[in-house]
Structures are given as C-alpha cells and as structure tokens.
Amino acid sequence: MTKPILSSRSRIPAAKTDALLKCYAARLSPSETAEQVGLSLNTVYEQYARIRWRLIEVGYYQDAALSKTESGLSESVQEQLRLRRGLEDDDIYAHAAEVIEWAEEWPPVLVLRHLRKVIELTGPIDVPLELSADQASIVITYVRYARTQLIFDRIAESAKADPAQESFLQRVAIAMDTYRKDYRAAVKRTSRQSKATKD
C-alpha cells in the first residue's frame, strides 16, 4: 500500500508520520502525541489541524458546530470544546467536528486504516484539496464504504450480546459490500481511463 504523505515539504520521517497517524486515530492529545512520537508540539498541532480539515473536506467527519454551546451538542461535547483553550471562532467548526467524532469511540485500528487511505487517495495535506471528477468519485465511494464499515463494526459487537440485532447487521453488511464494490469500480474505471489516455 502507498505510504500516506502528510506534507509535500515536510521532513517528518515515514516512521514518525505513521506514529503520528496512530496517535491521532487513538485520539491522543497533541501534547501526548508530541511526547510519544518525538516531534515538536507546534508540528503536531499543525499536522492535527491539517488532518482534521482533510477529514472534513472528504466528508469522513460528518457533523460539526459553529459555537461551543450550539443547540444540539451534548454536554460532554460542549465540555470537550471548552477544554480546548484558545480556540478562535474560525477554529470551532473543525474542532467541533473532531470532538463529535471522537465521542463515538470508534475502534482506533479501523479509524487508522481509513485515515491512511484517505490521505493516500487525496495526497499531501499541506496543499489545497484538488481532485478531478474521477478522483472525487473514488474518494466519495471510499468514504461511504468506510463510514458503513464503522457502523458494521459497532453492530457486530452489539449482535454478539443481542441476537435481535442480527437482521440489522445483515442489512448493514449488504450495504457495506455494495459500497465496497462501488469504490473498486470507481478505481478500475479511473485506471482504465488513465491507461487509455497514455496509449
């Protein structure tokens, strides 16, 4: 698999890049990540901000808020936003998207897999996201598959304790398989078109 590249200019070694992504997927704070990975705190803050926005841009993060006390936010999410000191108004939307997502406590291993793939498909996160129609189709279908995979994982765990969830699990599995096929079809279509153009 292609190694995800965080920056077109950064000299962060591949091993530290992967370690940083693992920390982000595990929902570690920037200070914890800086200590674990051996990067400066400013570098981690910068990379976290870029990851956050990339996940919003591709639709992996699906909810957000415009203020720390927006109606509909749970008390725990509001509290987490308040704990993120120094947030400017322009930063709240992205941080709220992240806090809402992290509150779900999806499996870090699965999130890491999705995170690596999103960055692989969209390129370095230090440059504006610019995708052709074909590239956008690949990313959209992958994100749809990835989000369904998260739901499937959760329902599968629930079904172990509650057999009544089995029928729902089967429906989610069918949807996940459909989205996976859509993603693979988009990849093959783009590959064929690219080959035809070169020929």
Residue reference for tokens 């725990």: 76
Query: 9 and 84: one domain?
Result: yes
Q: Quote the mean pLDDT of the chain.
A: 90
What is the total count of domains within the chain?
2
Query: 1 and 94: one domain?
Result: yes
Tell me which of 48-52, 70-74, 116-120, 142-146 is least confident.
Answer: 70-74
Query: 3 and 90: one domain?
Result: yes
Alpha-carbon distance 197 to 193, whole Å?
6
- pTM for the whole structure: 0.89
pLDDT value, residue 3: 61
Query: 141 and 48: one domain?
Result: no
Select the more confidently predicted residue: 84 or 113. 113
Select the more confidently predicted residue: 198 or 142. 142
In a domain, 87, yes or no: yes
The answer to whether the CB of 128 falls within 8 A of the CB of 53 is no
In a domain, 71, yes or no: yes
pLDDT value, residue 1: 46
Query: 82 and 4: one domain?
Result: yes
pLDDT value, residue 7: 73
Query: 73 and 8: one domain?
Result: yes
Q: What is the residue range of 178's domain?
A: 131-199
In a domain, 125, yes or no: no
Calculate what percentage of the chain has a pLDDT beyond 90: 66
Tell me which of 48-57, 61-70, 146-155 is least confident.
Answer: 61-70
Alpha-carbon distance 17 to 29, whole Å?
16
In a domain, 73, yes or no: yes
Tell me which of 55-59, 73-77, 108-112, 179-183 is least confident.
Answer: 73-77
pLDDT band (50, 70, 90) for residue 158: confident
pLDDT value, residue 198: 66
Query: 91 and 149: one domain?
Result: no
In a domain, 49, yes or no: yes
The pLDDT tens digits of the residues spanning 129-138 come to: 999 999 999 9
Query: 92 and 154: one domain?
Result: no
Q: Mean of the pLDDT values across residues 100-121? A: 94
Task: Please provide residue 177's backbone torsions phi and psi, each rounded to the nearest 5 degrees.
Answer: -65, -40
Q: Mean of the pLDDT values across residues 142-146? A: 97
Query: 98 and 163: one domain?
Result: no
pLDDT value, residue 191: 84
The answer to whether the CB of 131 falls within 8 A of the CB of 55 is no
Query: 91 and 4: one domain?
Result: yes
pLDDT band (50, 70, 90) for residue 62: very high
In a domain, 113, yes or no: no
In a domain, 8, yes or no: yes
pLDDT value, residue 69: 85
The answer to whether the CB of 68 falls within 8 A of the CB of 82 is yes
In a domain, 14, yes or no: yes
Query: 90 and 154: one domain?
Result: no
Rg, the chain, Cα only: 18
